[in-house]
Structure 1
């Protein structure tokens, strides 16, 4: 099918597609058009990675906008949202405005009503529904990317409930669901009342197999010799072999530590395949990566990037990940060693995918558990890029014949597992039942069950008894904690319940926060950090070897700071959870006491991405705590607000005013303060030479900061930096790195050395 044959598109779009190199649609794409994708028909496309699913989504959205509607594109990850927004902006010449929304869960973001296409995470769309965003009623098309993730116990229920609510708001909504190839795509299509396009077709041939001994054996029985020299690792041999044909490699391992160690080893392999120009490019890239963060992780990543390799995991900052992904797509970086998160939709195709580790640790399982077939197939799908690779190869590693046979049976020849709803899990139900009542989708128990009947879970359940039992248990919990009122069959969200729903909190988190705040007379920052760290919405730091003793001692030293009863040491699980929350809270306290990022990373064994994640989550939860304290008219509102600001800026109390000026940040605020510029007002009056000296002579930075502070004339023309101010600031920074907070605010750093 040619682009000119596609009905319902805005004028000029078919010609644009041809000019972009799309002279003929791929077979799965053509089938979606034949089934009405550009004429408002709902559809599930279950096709392999790199088979043109994004264009299917674009065809649906462009035709929807052409009919006068608004399109919504739902993604599972923030990083993927940014990537898709950039892709869709290629339609700007056709007067298509694209918006993106991924944060601020307490907003209806009415400005999005002016956009033709909105890209958002499923959590953000859920929050928009809860906050009554009126523009959602104008939607004519919603695209759910990676819809097979309804199977994910954490993210799945939100996507499932959100799609059900959007279809309830707009009954004739066109739903386009994009999925990996799964065993029961027909069940997803039945749930969404959609046509199904299911295909195994790929534009680039993908060969899957297992490496054992000195060769890869592929699924069709053919072999490719990849000998492993004495003392060499199979992974290195496979990467070297791909590079001999100018192909990149993506290596999947089961932990961050393994990703970093493997990247260091592979860097010696990739370095031998670099041109002089590539070495120069990588040297520049390595400097950018090192500048992102002061941590050892940042330095380690820069070191391997210089040689053409990289590692990728959740401990990296967003900037780290973005730089690595871009360079890998450009083939400047030749090999990435990654944890499985990189397989979840981000566009990082390679010539060869190597699944080195097919087991990972699972606490509930009690040991190393084999990966799901669908997850491994998602990794496989990263291999082969149209227009760049003549083929793709996905390879598992075996150490013996028995393992080789098992890998063929479990992954190479196996179909992926069927998608199963995880909605009936109680943590998901707590959040979504309260939101369903608070946003008016159901006002009775029977109304709730009727709404849930529109979910995937209901279409898959053999009977309704389990669902009804979970609903009753959750309603009892919401009632007992003051989030809903029950009058017979009637259900009404209380004011507190409405607030909790709009804040996008797990009701159990809200209950923990409310109980803690009610018990607080004059809460300390550590007490508040610990309070939010023990909620289900915060992923706590694990206790490592020796941590229990360290944090037990700290627990008793700081016992008066806690908001709530400290569990007995004999309550093993509860006490361990309390200490894990304390470790997390201590990280936040160190951050808010201006301890350097590299010291924090070293002390807690985390990466810059972990620090940023904990800080962002704490800022959100403390903001929610401030709202709840205000709602309940508690006396601790100011203390909570200050603790939130200190986490947000990463500073001590005296720097809050300065750090609030856009562009300053925690280190610049300290330098300015030690140079005598202690407030926003001081910035408007201080000698420019002093400001410039404290900012290390960076004129453009100084001008921008003065402008943001409201200074009438921020220009630094003919201004020389005050050397004394610069010296004072540098001395202050050195002092900040080693000095401890007051005894009642922070334990001695020696306790954690």
Structure 2
């Protein structure tokens, strides 16, 4: 279909697409148009990666906005939200306004009312519904990316309930759901009353196969020689072969540790293919990576990147991941070793994909378990970049002839599993039932069940009795804990229940926090431990031998810990200790312990620290609101603990660290130079500020401006010599301490 034939889209779109080199639609895109995606029809598009899903979404949204409506694009990951917002920002040249929202679960996002296209995560949209964002009534089109993630036990129920609520709010809402090829796309289409485009068409071929011995065997029965040199691993041989064709490789492994180790080894292969010019640019990227944090993880990543290799996992900071993704897209980084999270939609295609590890540890099963077909196909779909690669190749790695046969049967020739709703689990329903009642979607048990009839779970389950049993159990729990009231008129949320729903808390987290706050005078460690015990915090695992260490810590500081402690012989004691370990990390962070020391002590990455800090900050903010709601008189203690963990500083630095651009290290340097709060910073001698900030004029100007200094300019300002000398002495002491710590490791 020629783009000029697309009906009901803005007049400028045809020329815009031509400017991008698009003259005609891909077959799945043309089918979507024929099925009415630009004319308000609901649609499920189940097509492979790189087959044009985003343009289908764009056509739906732009045609909807052109008719006077407002469009919402739901993504599963924050990183994807930023990526999509950048893509859609090009439409602002034609008068459209694009916004993105991913954080602050207590906000109604009123500023989004004037936006034409809004990009958000499913959790954020759910919170907007709970907070009665008035502009949701104006939505005319909702697009949900990666809709097959309704099958995910953790995030799926939120996506499922959110779509059901949006469709309930706006009966005429156009729903467009995008997915990789799945086993039951027709059932998703039935649930959403949608037309279906189910296609395996790709703009470039994807060849799937298995490497064994010295041969790559492909799904069509053909083989090609791909020899493994002496003392070379299979993955390195595949990467070397790809480099010979000037291609890039994504290698999927089953753990962070394996991703880092694989990148370290493969750097020896990629380093031989890096040109002189590429070497200079890679050195620049490596320097940026080292600037992000002073951790071993950061240093290891930079070392690999200098040779054209990298690793990518959730332990990296957001800045690390962005630098790796950008370097890979520019083909400066030749190979990225990643955990499966990278397959979830981030735009990082490559010539070849190697699925090295097709099993991963599953704690519920007590051992290594095979990945799902859908997950492996998601990884494989990253192979091949239209316009850059002649084809894509996805390679599994076999270590025996039997495994070769098994991988073909299990993954290469297999169809993806059907997607199944995970809504009927009690933890998922706890939060969604309270929110459904609090936001007025249901006012009785029958009303709840009627609302749930609009979910995928109801579409897939003929027997309503199981859902009724779980709903009754959850209603009883919410009633006992004071979040819901059951009366002759039906169900209603209490004031406390409304607060818990608005705060986007799991009701069990709220019950735990309230119980702890009623226990006595809280300290920072006690508060950190309290929020770390909730279901909303992912706790650190106890490593071998650590149970004894943290049991001793629990006894030493038991007066600070809030709520009743379980017995050492109870099942919950290990979780209590895991929460204490996580709380101790937060206390170390809020005591200004260096980031590299924290990562080494706890065996985590800088991204993990940021994740724990962000979650603790949110939960402590929620605890502050709950304490105010119940008039518990501990708000100031909670606020101090929250601000300390937010900025990673001791109590005396909280005010300084709150100035934009200061942060934990600069706050300490300013404080040591005699500047103790933002008021003093506003009136400070500029030469002292410049010296404390190590002579960085631009940084000093920005910080003084943010503090409200009447003249922040550093023109003709020299750093104060006495302060500079003290700073040099402090730096030397710090470096000596670091050297001694490193020497102590040997």
State whether TM-score is above 0.5: yes
- 2:226 is the counterpart of 1:199: no
Q: How does 1:514-663 map to 2 (within 5 A)?
A: 514-520=514-520, 522-571=521-570, 573-663=571-661
In the aligned structure 1, how far is the partner of 2:601 from the partner of 2:46? 45
Given that residues 670 and 729 in structure 1 are in contact (C-alpha distance below 8 angstroms), is that contact kept between their aligned partners in structure 2? Answer: no
**1:732: how far off?**
5.1
Given that residues 141 and 174 in structure 1 are in contact (C-alpha distance below 8 angstroms), is that contact kept between their aligned partners in structure 2? Answer: yes
**1:412: how far off?**
0.3
| Structure 1 counterpart SS, 2:232 | coil
TM-score, normalised via structure 1 length: 0.97
1:682 is aligned to 680
In the aligned structure 1, how far is the partner of 2:131 from the partner of 2:722? 52
Residue by residue over 1:20-77, the C-alpha shift from the partner in whole angstroms, topping out at 9 and shown as x without a partner, is 1111100000000000000000000000000000000000001001000000000000
1:301 is aligned to 301
Pick which of 726-735 and 610-619 moved more.
726-735
Q: How does 1:428-439 map to 2 (within 5 A)?
A: 428-439=428-439
2:498 is aligned to 498
Residue by residue over 1:318-357, the C-alpha shift from the partner in whole angstroms, topping out at 9 and shown as x without a partner, is 0000000011011110000000000001010000000000
The alpha-carbon distance between structure 1 residues 485 and 334, as it changes in their structure 2 partners (threshold 3 A), is same
Pick which of 55-64 and 700-709 moved more.
700-709
| Structure 2 counterpart SS, 1:643 | helix
1:333 is aligned to 333
2:252 is aligned to 252
Residue by residue over 1:122-145, the C-alpha shift from the partner in whole angstroms, topping out at 9 and shown as x without a partner, is 000000000000000000000000
**1:731: how far off?**
4.8
Long gaps (5+) in structure 1: 740-751
Given that residues 373 and 416 in structure 1 are in contact (C-alpha distance below 8 angstroms), is that contact kept between their aligned partners in structure 2? Answer: yes
The alpha-carbon distance between structure 1 residues 733 and 506, as it changes in their structure 2 partners (threshold 3 A), is farther
The alpha-carbon distance between structure 1 residues 734 and 129, as it changes in their structure 2 partners (threshold 3 A), is farther
Residue by residue over 1:180-232, the C-alpha shift from the partner in whole angstroms, topping out at 9 and shown as x without a partner, is 10010000000000000000000010000110000111000001110111211
In the aligned structure 2, how far is the partner of 1:540 from the partner of 1:458? 33
Long gaps (5+) in structure 2: 738-744
**1:90: how far off?**
1.6
The alpha-carbon distance between structure 1 residues 359 and 485, as it changes in their structure 2 partners (threshold 3 A), is same
**1:727: how far off?**
3.4
In the aligned structure 1, how far is the partner of 2:552 from the partner of 2:618? 29
2:125 is aligned to 125
Q: How does 1:160-179 map to 2 (within 5 A)?
A: 160-179=160-179
**1:372: how far off?**
0.4
Given that residues 84 and 119 in structure 1 are in contact (C-alpha distance below 8 angstroms), is that contact kept between their aligned partners in structure 2? Answer: yes
Q: How does 1:79-158 map to 2 (within 5 A)?
A: 79-158=79-158
Q: 1:710 aligns with which of 690, 708, 711?
A: 708
In the aligned structure 2, how far is the partner of 1:157 from the partner of 1:427? 10
1:183 is aligned to 183
In the aligned structure 2, how far is the partner of 1:93 from the partner of 1:671? 44
Q: How does 1:455-474 map to 2 (within 5 A)?
A: 455-474=455-474
In the aligned structure 2, how far is the partner of 1:250 from the partner of 1:527? 44
Q: Report how many residues are paired.
A: 739
**1:462: how far off?**
2.5
In the aligned structure 2, how far is the partner of 1:733 from the partner of 1:422? 53
The alpha-carbon distance between structure 1 residues 736 and 488, as it changes in their structure 2 partners (threshold 3 A), is farther
In the aligned structure 1, how far is the partner of 2:196 from the partner of 2:8? 20
In the aligned structure 1, how far is the partner of 2:703 from the partner of 2:216? 58
| Structure 2 counterpart SS, 1:8 | coil
The alpha-carbon distance between structure 1 residues 432 and 679, as it changes in their structure 2 partners (threshold 3 A), is same
In the aligned structure 2, how far is the partner of 1:382 from the partner of 1:116? 31
**1:657: how far off?**
1.1
Residue by residue over 1:91-137, the C-alpha shift from the partner in whole angstroms, topping out at 9 and shown as x without a partner, is 12211111000000000111111111000000000000000000000
Pick which of 533-542 and 729-738 moved more.
729-738
Residue by residue over 1:538-591, the C-alpha shift from the partner in whole angstroms, topping out at 9 and shown as x without a partner, is 0000000121111111111111110012221111x3110011000000000000
Residue by residue over 1:240-268, the C-alpha shift from the partner in whole angstroms, topping out at 9 and shown as x without a partner, is 00110001000000011100000011001
| Structure 2 counterpart SS, 1:561 | coil
Residue by residue over 1:273-311, the C-alpha shift from the partner in whole angstroms, topping out at 9 and shown as x without a partner, is 111111111010100011111110000000000000000
Given that residues 671 and 730 in structure 1 are in contact (C-alpha distance below 8 angstroms), is that contact kept between their aligned partners in structure 2? Answer: no
Q: How does 1:273-422 map to 2 (within 5 A)?
A: 273-422=273-422
The alpha-carbon distance between structure 1 residues 592 and 217, as it changes in their structure 2 partners (threshold 3 A), is same
**1:488: how far off?**
3.5
In the aligned structure 2, how far is the partner of 1:586 from the partner of 1:41? 53
RMSD, matched Cα? 1.3
